[in-house]
Structures are given as C-alpha cells and as structure tokens.
Structure 1
Amino acid sequence: MAGNKLVVLDALDVAKTQWYHFTAIVIAGMGFFTDAYDLFCISLVSKLLGRIYYTKPDLEKPGTLPPNVADAVNGVALCGTLAGQLFFGWLGDKLGRKKVYGITLVLMVVCSVGSGLSFGQSANGVITTLCFFRFWLGFGIGGDYPLSATIMSEYANKKTRGAFIAAVFAMQGFGILGGGFVALIVSSAFNNRYNPPAFQDNPEASLPSQSDYVWRMTLMFGALPALLTYYWRMKMPETARYTALVAKNAKQAAADMSKVLQMEIQAEKTKVERLAGEPSNTFGLFTKEFAKRHGLHLLGTTSTWFLLDIAFYSQNLFQKDIFSAIGWIPKAATMSALEEVFKIARAQTLIALCSTVPGYWFTVALIDYMGRFAIQLMGFFFMTVFMFALAIPYNHWTHNHLEFVVMYSLTFFFANFGPNATTFIVPAEIFPARLRSTCHGISAAAGKAGAIVGAFGFLYAAQNQDRNKVDAGYKPGIGVKNSLLVLGGINFLGMLFTLLVPESKGKSLEELTGENDEGEIETTEQINAAGGRTVQV
C-alpha cells in the first residue's frame, strides 16, 4: 500500500516543521483575526448607535436600538457569513483554494470601510446602509472559514496538523482582543478630549457630535489587517492535494511543493491518473456512497458546530447585556456615551485576555496529544457545568460580580479549549479533497445558523425581560437566567452529538479518506481498529 502513495503528498505528511508552515499560519490566521474583529466589534458600539440615533427628543433617558433594528445590526453579518461559507466552500472545490482566497479579503476590506462610512438622511437610512455593508462583510468572512481551514490542513504534516489548524483559528481570539483595544483607545481619546458629563447631569453634552467618529473608526479598522495580508495570499501556491487529487495535474503539484519544501519531487502523472479513476475518488456529495462513508460524520460536524455557536455567539454578542444585568457595567444614564463604550470594551477585553485567548492556545498546545474528540467532549462538559452553575444560583451572582465574571470567563475558556476550536479543525480533515472545502463550508454554515439562533434568541429573551418588568412577579435578570439555563442544556446536547465525530489525530488526510491508496480505502471500522475514535457507518 505504501508504494501506491503519491510522493508529493507523502513528503507533506512527513515534512518537519519549517518556515513555510509558520508563513501559512500567519497568512491564513490574519484572515481570522479580521473575521473575529469584524464580527464581534459590533457588540462594542451597538449601544452607542442607540444613543446617537435613537435618543428621544425629551431626553429622559439614553436611546437604545429598537428590537427590530438591534436584530438586524447584530444578525445581518451572521446571515452573510452563512451564505459565504456555503458559496465559497463550494467554489473552493470547483476552482481551487487559491483562486478564490483573495476575493474574500477584498470583500472584507471594501465592506469594513463601507460600514464605517454608512450614510443616510435619517437614523433608519444610516442603519440600512450599515446593514447592507455588514451583510457583504459577513459574506467575505464566511468564505474565509472553509478556505483557510482547508489550505492549512492540506499544507500541514500529519504529526502537528491539529496544532497548525488550531493556530490559524486561535487568531480569532486576538481579533476579539484587538476589537476591544481599538474601542478602548478610540473612546478614551475622544472622551479625554471632550470629557462629556453623565447623561443625567447634562443629557445634551453627554453625547457630543464626535461620538459618531468612535463607532465609525472602530468598524473601519477591520480593513487594515485584511489589506496587509492580501499580497501574501496571492503569492501562496495552490495546495498539492487539490492540484494532484482534484485538478489531476501531477506536474504542477510536484513543481509547487518542490519550491515549498525545498527538495526535488518527481511528478507521478500515471499514478495520479490511475488514482483519479478509483471509485473512492469519484463519488459526489449527494450520493449513497457519500452517505455511507461520511453521512454520520457530516451530521456530527454540522450538529456540534450548530449547538456550539448558539452558546458561543450568544455569550460574545451580548456580554454587555449580561454585565449590565449583574451591575458590573453601570446604567447608561449614569455615564456619558463614550464612557459607556469604554466600560463595555474594557469588560469584553478582560474576558478575552483572561479566558478566550488562553483557551485557544491550550488547544494549540495539546490537540495533537489529547486528540480532537477528547478536547471537544471535555469542552462541552465544562461549558455545561459552568452555565448551570451561573444560572441556578443566579441571584447570588448579582451580588458577587467578581465571582460571576470568573465563572463566566471559564465558559469562554472551555469553549475555546474545546468545541469552538475542534469544530473548525475536524471538517478540514475527514472529508475527501474534492469535497473538503464544501463539507467544511456546510459544517461552518450550520454553525452560523446556530449563531443566528443564539443572537436572535438571546435578544428576544432580553426584550421579554423588559416587557415583564410590569408584571407583579418580575425578578431582575430573569431573562438572563433563563437564557443561561437554555445554553447549559444546549451544551449538554453538544456532548451527545460529539459521539458522531471521528478522531483524526496522527493520520494523514488520505488515510482518513482512502484517496491516496489505490484500491485501499480506510473504513470507519479500520480507523477504529487502528486506535482512532469513530462510529461505524
């Protein structure tokens, strides 16, 4: 069986960690830095948008985004991301990873700038323009998921592949952190210059005209890292696995990887043509053969990502509401608009710095030792535990802010040292090269469907809480408490669906799919017998 392996792919599998690996991590990772920055920075400025455009003329209290507007502002980029994941995932398998890789960055640059320049003659006009650009921004972000994951998995060696893909995804943590730092710097700079009073002291002066610059500058900064990365993305060669196994161009694959690995690799045209005709390399996505070999795997990757993102995006997009509910962030009327942005950014930056970022890098360090399955199961388990620990004695935490923040931070830590990383990694490893980007895009789109459910669902719970304030039996924070209980149950379901996800640690991509071995196909029974955790299909 060893004699049937393509030399170019075997060379990639056994290659020592070298400079091109780190270059690929940075190039793909900066895309994810931008993705996270652009998706989550809206939560830093959404309250400011409400104060600028929806404060009532009587000035009794700071304005807030109406429910339908808040839905659109928070969810439209996620809708665009879902569409982009499906479209670019499919396109990456049809045209190649590299050919469409730069398009996603161009979309992100243009739409980040467009978001900051949103215009209109009324509040609704500005928000409509913002939502238009945010949708197409999300569309570009969506393409980055399957393309970055697939490129990194196809470049990596089998020994440290998990760490390399996880390192790309870990840049998401720095993107969240970067958004917080930018909001802190911009809001602090304008607040120190103009020093507006609290709303209740002087409603008009608490919202200076310069406040409009803060949200625009924060959103536009997302264009910078994407712009800086564009040239290097265009310099990357197409992956050898796509060129050899999908495009069937043995000569080009050998030439590209000879440069990358700095070694002479011979083209194997005859072997590539022979492998191309094998039944294991010809079935399509909507076939019985795919359903037999990978149906449960795709169900596992889509369901776990869907459930994970309900919890993860709910927490990230509405941290400010949770912190306000427990009193960690003061009421809006007690501070100026810019002070509010600063305090929201400070809270989210602390969470990212203390738990989100470390969680990602624990995954990078341990995934090729512990395996994907163990980390994902562990993460869902501890997220379930900490969600219930926050929700059940909720009234206790409203009087113990520091303890609440510590517990809440642990849910982020185990999300990232857990399923938020592994759901990104596994779909880039277990599907055939000709369907890899498509299947990753489908899995990621299922995740964004969960994010949309989480974002809108949590927002509905918060709105329902406000409506219940008139009820005699109302208790402060009941909407947040119920949301945390629901999220705990969702994380428990994530544990159960993780049982459908195979372990891919230490095996080459072709060992997992059977593409590189003529007549020899790794069944799930063989994977299990070899020590890989999987289910039989």
Structure 2
Amino acid sequence: MAGDQLKVLNALDVAKTQWYHFTAIVIAGMGFFTDAYDLFCISLVTKLLGRIYYHVDGAAKPGTLPPNVAAAVNGVAFCGTLSGQLFFGWLGDKMGRKRVYGITLILMVICSIASGLSFGHNPKAVMTTLCFFRFWLGFGVGGDYPLSATIMSEYANKKTRGAFIAAVFAMQGFGILGGGIVAIVVSAAFKAKYNVPAYEVDPIGSTVPQADFIWRLILMFGAIPAGLTYYWRMKMPETARYTALVAKNAKQAAADMSKVLQVEIEEEQEKVEKMGKERANSFGLFSKAFLHRHGLHLLGTTSTWFLLDIAFYSQNLFQKDIFSAIGWIPPAKTMNAIEEVYRIARAQTLIALCSTVPGYWFTVAFIDYMGRFAIQMMGFFFMTVFMFALAIPYNHWTKKDNHIGFVVIYSLTFFFANFGPNSTTFIVAAEIFPARLRSTCHGISAASGKAGAIIGAFGFLYAAQSTDKSKTDAGYPAGIGIKNSLIVLGVINFLGMLFTLLVPESKGKSLEELSGENEGDENSGAEMEQQAYHGNRSTAPV
C-alpha cells in the first residue's frame, strides 16, 4: 500500500527535478560514454591491424585479420562484459551500489591503457595480449551496466525516472560518436605529420611504420573520461533504497537524502525494522515465489535484450564491411592504411551523428509520455521493416547510384534501435525488480544481451562471408552473404516484438509499486512459495 512507503523513498519519488539529478546523470553517464567508446572503437582499427600485422610482402592485396583472429578481437570484450555484468550485478546487491562502483572505473582505466600497449614478438602474440586486456576491459565495462542503471533508477523521481535513466544510457551514443571523432583526428594528424597521400601507385605496401601508433592511441584514449569520473563517483552517497530496504539503516538513508534533497526527512528506523521482520523470509532469486511474481518479467527482459543485441552489435561492429560491400567506402587496395582508418571513422561518425545519437535523445524526450512498452514495440517493428527493405532488394542497393538510399535506410535502423529497444531494455530492467535483487536481475538481463552481442560478433563475421565460389575455393571462408545475413537480422527483430509482450509497463509508478515492496501485507517467503505452488496469482503486480 502506498501508505506504507517510507518517507525518505516517498521524498525521492515526488522530488522536483533539481541539480542532483543532473549531477547523477553526468556521473553515471560518463561511465557509459567510456563503455561505448571502449566497446566500439575496436571496429575502427581492425582493418588497420590486418594491414600492419598480417600483410605478406609481395601479396596482391592488403593484409587482413584471419576470421578467427578478427572474431576474437571484436568479440572478446563482450565475453568480459557478460562476466562483469553477472559478477558486479550480484556484488552490487550484496555490498551496495557505491562500494563497487569505483572498481569498474579503475578496471576500465588500467585496461584501456594496457590494450594500447599490447606487446609481443610476432602478430599472434600482439593479438593475444590485446585480447587478454580487452577481456578485462569488458569485465569493467560490464559492471557499469547494472550499477549505473540501478543507481539512477533509485535516485530518480517516478514522474521523470524513464528520462533520467535514458539520459544516462544516451551517453553511449556520444561514446560511439567520440570514438569516430578521435579516430578521424588521430588519422588526419598522422597523415599531415608524415605527409602520407591518400592514394598511391602502390597503396598495398605503403603502410608507414608510424601507423602502429594510431590504433594504440585510439584504444588508450578511453582511459581519459573514465579517470576524470572516478573522484565524483566516490563522492556520491549510497542510494536510499539500498540503505533503507536492503541494509536496513533508515537513519543513514534519511541523513544522505536530506543532504541531497536539501530538506529535512524523518528517519523511520522502527518502521524499517518492522518491515525487515515481516519480510525476513522474503523470496530469493529463482525461488518459486520469485518465478511466480517476476519470472515472466525476467524472461521478457532477458529475451528482448538478447535479440536486440544480436542485431545491434552486428550492425555496429561490421558496418564497415557492409559499407565496403556496397561501395560507399572504396576498396582497401585503392588507398593506404591511414586513409582507410580515416574513411571508416568518417562513415561511422556520420551514421552516429545523424541517427544513433538522435535516437537516444528521442527516447529521453518521449519515454515518460509514450511509455516503455510502446517505444520498444515501435523500435523493433521499424527495425524489422528496414532490415527487410535493405535485404530483399539488396542487389539494387549495391549499384553505385543507390548507395545514398542504402545508407539512409541503414541509418534509420540505428535510429529506431535507440529510439526503441536498445534504450528501453536498459531502463525497464532497472525498474521492475525488488531492491535486494535489482542489480542482480539487471546484470542477468544485460548479460543475456551480451550473449546476443557475442553471437552477433562471432556469427555475423562468418555468416556475412562471400558466397562467391571462386573466393571460397581460394581459401576464403564460406558464408550466407550479407543479403541473407540482413534477412536473418530482420527475423530476429520480429521475434523481439513478440517477446516484448512479456515486459510490463513501468511508466509513472514507484519502484516499490512495481516490485511489490510497499505492500503492507506482503506475504512472507514461505507464504509466497505456497501460493506459487498452488498457482495463486492474486499478489502479482499489475
């Protein structure tokens, strides 16, 4: 019942938008800027890595990363991210959000620098070292997902909570954009300093030794925003919802939020202790009671995030290959290595600027009016439509005069991914679960998404290989081709629409209403288990 809501939590729910909201958005959002930069900047330099470390003297084409090496370099950070989401999500509920929040940043700073310093006496050793550090970089990035989402959801008021969480996640768009801009600046600077022309008679063998510094500088730049954010993260107080509902310290929760909100808030230690006794046997993760109350919700958040990330990360990591296939980026053999980095970065920056970033901020603007469900369903629908619009007439788009049309439609898929499920999956998973399990459940949902990203990174690489028999006979791996890969992604987006039906609408409700934590007559764990066993769904939240 709403009357059983603690005053400190009610104060947060009804608080007017004020400075501390924006401070929290920036502090949590800079972590997401770094996350996106670190995860996606690798796609800007993979072709350069192939030219530097896998070029064979006298070969008729520039060097390229072998498929297994390319898959590892692109996908290993996602394996680390998945692990970090599960581990730090669990740790955030056990130790508190703030206590582990700084650890993720330290990992990102150290591993961003170490990735750029990857060493070895041969190409295999360099790639192995790079993959090792990118795994642990991903581990730190993974922790940022459940912690940032949970902290922002627990700080926000219920009226604009969706916009605040979406604003944190929207910094991912600026991270992707920032990666492209850094790559453009670094590659342009090297072109100017070493007087490297864009096109040469022999561009295949023209990779200057200094090109090895380019990819290292791009990767190491990710340490800067993470390092700048660390001090401010450590100054943030623990969220009142964790302190009061999980740690059972009403005095500390009231003191922290009185300082943050700049109002006097009554501490209700007796009420917290009474609630603690009533809920001493509250259901645990994956108990029958949990599955009865939140099982379908967790299935909805994990499945939609899984399906979304297969499509989203496939598109992001391999858009350079798609643009090369349709001729928007010139063939590698026509330009030198530094020019290729510049061209790839320019293309991806244009996509980010025109579609990716606006999509995130459309979500910020409309989510508390349209609701999470409507935006997620709309996003999956248009992603499906545009994928099929690219795939079915694919041969039409590969003609030179039609490249602009392809790029426009391709950009719209990014727009509706971000003004759609890429944002809402992150938001809803931070709202609908109990405080004591919120970070863990968000971590599980996000890890499911990264499992999809791994499939996208590894699977799309092989699936999109040419179907040309002359190329496969020459040793290139066979695949279903880019056209059929786009069709598969369209089907995946359609499945995302179906699983969205399992996700509840959370607009305008307090976190305790959504999770059932403010019900004065909340059943004990044993009673919930009994009701779950008999199939009684009367206590399930609407």
Same fold (TM over 0.5): yes
Q: Which residue of 2 aligns with 1:218?
A: 218
Q: Tell me the secondary structure at the aligned position of residue 171 of structure 1.
A: helix
Instruction: Work out the CA distance in 2 between the residues paired with 1:101 and 1:133.
Output: 20
More displaced, 455-464 or 389-398? 455-464
Contact 1:159/1:506 (<8 A) preserved: yes
1:110 paired with 2:118, answer: no
- Alignment CA distance shift 1:68-1:199 (3 Å): farther
Paired position in structure 2 for 1:346: 346
Secondary structure of the corresponding residue to residue 119 of structure 2 = coil
- The answer to whether the aligner puts 1:480 opposite 2:482 as a matched pair is yes
Amino acid at match of 2:3: G
Q: Does the C-alpha gap of structure 1 residues 367 and 204 become closer, same or farther in structure 2, counting only changes over 3 Å?
A: closer
Residue in structure 2 matched with residue 452 of structure 1 by the alignment: 454
Structure 2 unaligned regions, length at least 5: 529-539
What is the DSSP-based 3-state SS (H/G/I as helix, E as strand, rest coil) of the residue aligned with 2:283? coil
Moved more, 455-464 or 216-225: 455-464
Which letter maps to 2:490?
G
Q: CA deviation at 1:196?
A: 3.0
CA contact under 8 A between 1:198 and 1:206: conserved in structure 2?
Answer: no
Q: Is the 8 A contact 1:196 1:207 kept in 2?
A: no
Alpha-carbon distance, 1:169 to partner: 0.1
By how many angstroms is 1:68 displaced?
Answer: 1.1
Secondary structure of the structure 2 residue equivalent to 1:282: coil
The answer to whether residue 321 in structure 2 is matched with residue 321 in structure 1 is yes
Q: Alpha-carbon deviation of 1:478?
A: 6.3
| 1:514 shift after superposition | 1.6
CA distance in 1, matches of 2:181, 2:197: 23
Structure 1 residues 51 and 84 mapped into 2: Cα distance closer, same or farther (>3 Å)?
A: same
What per-residue deviation string (whole Å, max 9, x for no partner) do you get for residues 255-288 of structure 1?
0000000011111011101112334971100210
Q: Residues of 2 paired with 1:94 and 1:477: CA distance?
A: 45
- Match for 2:301: what amino acid? T
Given that 2:29 and 2:167 are in contact with CA atoms closer than 8 Å, whether structure 1 keeps it comes out as yes
The answer to whether the aligner puts 1:142 opposite 2:121 as a matched pair is: no
Per-residue CA shift, 1:332-378, capped at 9, x if unaligned?
A: 11001000000000000000000000000000000000000000000
In the alignment, which residue of structure 1 is the partner of 2:532? Answer: none
Contact 1:275/1:517 (8 A) holds in 2: no
Question: In the alignment, what sits opposite 1:237?
Answer: 237
* Residue pair 1:85, 1:145 contacting (<8 A) in 2 also: yes
Q: Pairwise mapping of residues 245-260 of structure 1 onto structure 2 (< 5 A)?
A: 245-260=245-260
Question: Any residues of structure 2 matched to 1:455-470 within 5 Å, and which?
Answer: 455-463=457-465, 465=467, 469=471
The 3 A distance-change label for structure 1 pair 139 and 517 is same
Change (3 A) 1:87 1:178: same
1:185 counterpart letter in structure 2: V
Partner of 1:3: 3
2:534 counterpart residue number: none
2:183 alignment partner in structure 1: 183
1:67 corresponding residue in structure 2: 67
Tell me how far apart the structure 2 counterparts of residues 233 and 192 of structure 1 sit (CA, whole Å).
39
Please state whether the residue corresponding to 2:465 is helix, strand or coil.
helix
Q: Structure 1 residues 470 and 114, CA, compared in 2 at 3 Å: closer, same or farther?
A: closer
Mapping for residues 52-451 of structure 1, pairs under 5 Å:
52-197=52-197, 201-203=201-203, 206-279=206-279, 282-399=282-399, 400-451=402-453
Give 1:468 shift.
Answer: 6.0
- Give the deviation of 1:3 after TM superposition: 3.3
Matched residues, percent identical? 81
SS in 2 for 1:428: coil
Deviations 1:2-36 (A, max 9, x none): 43210000000000000000000000000000000
Output the amino acid matched with 1:305: W
Task: Indicate the RMSD between aligned Cα atoms, in angstroms.
Answer: 2.0
Distance 1:458 1:519, change over 3 A: same
User: Residues of 2 paired with 1:294 and 1:262: CA distance?
Assistant: 35
Partner of 1:527: none
Q: Which residue of 2 aligns with 1:526?
A: none
- Secondary structure of 1:277 counterpart: helix
Is the contact made by 2:88 and 2:443 (CA closer than 8 Å) also made in structure 1? Answer: yes
Distance 2:215 2:3 in 1: 59
Contact 1:379–1:415 (CA<8 Å) still a contact in 2?
yes
Q: In the aligned structure 1, how far is the partner of 2:382 from the partner of 2:320?
A: 23
Q: Kindly indicate whether the alpha-carbon contact (under 8 Å) linking 2:105 and 2:140 is maintained by their aligned counterparts in 1.
A: yes
- In the TM superposition, what is the alpha-carbon distance from 1:191 to its structure 2 partner? 1.0
- In structure 2, give the amino acid aligned to 1:3: G
The answer to whether the 8 Å contact 1:186/1:214 transfers is yes
CA apart distance, 1:182: 0.2
Q: Check 1:392–1:2 CA distance in 2 against 1; reply closer, same or farther (3 A cut).
A: closer
CA distance 1:465–1:217, change in 2 (3 Å):
farther
Amino acid at match of 1:341: V
8 Å Cα contact 1:372/1:426 also seen in 2: yes
Instruction: Check the 8 A contact 1:167/1:364 in 2, yes or no.
Output: yes
Q: Structure 1: which 5+ residue stretches go unaligned?
A: 524-534
Instruction: Name the residue aligned to 1:531.
Output: none
Which one-letter code corresponds to 1:311 in the other structure?
A: A
Mapped partners of 2:79, 2:147: distance in 1: 18
Asked if the contact 1:298/1:443 (under 8 Å) is kept, the reply is yes
Structure 2 counterpart of 1:433, one-letter code? A
Q: How many angstroms does 1:494 deviate by? A: 0.1
Q: Quote how far apart the aligned CAs of 1:160 are.
A: 0.1
- Could you tell me whether the CA contact under 8 Å between 2:391 and 2:484 is conserved in 1? yes
Residue type of the alignment partner of 2:173: G
- Matched with 2:520 is 518
Structure 2: distance between partners of 1:466 and 1:245:
61
Q: Secondary structure at the match of 1:154?
A: helix
Distance change in 2, residues 1:390/1:281 (3 Å): farther
Distance 2:58 2:424 in 1: 51
- Paired with 2:295 and 2:468, the residues of 1 have a C-alpha distance of 44
Q: For 2:487, what is the secondary structure of its paired residue?
A: helix
Contact 2:2-2:518 within 8 A present in 1 as well:
no
The number of residues matched between the two structures is 523
Letter in 2 for 1:482: N
- In the aligned structure 2, how far is the partner of 1:470 from the partner of 1:107? 41
Deviation at 1:57, TM superposition (A): 1.9
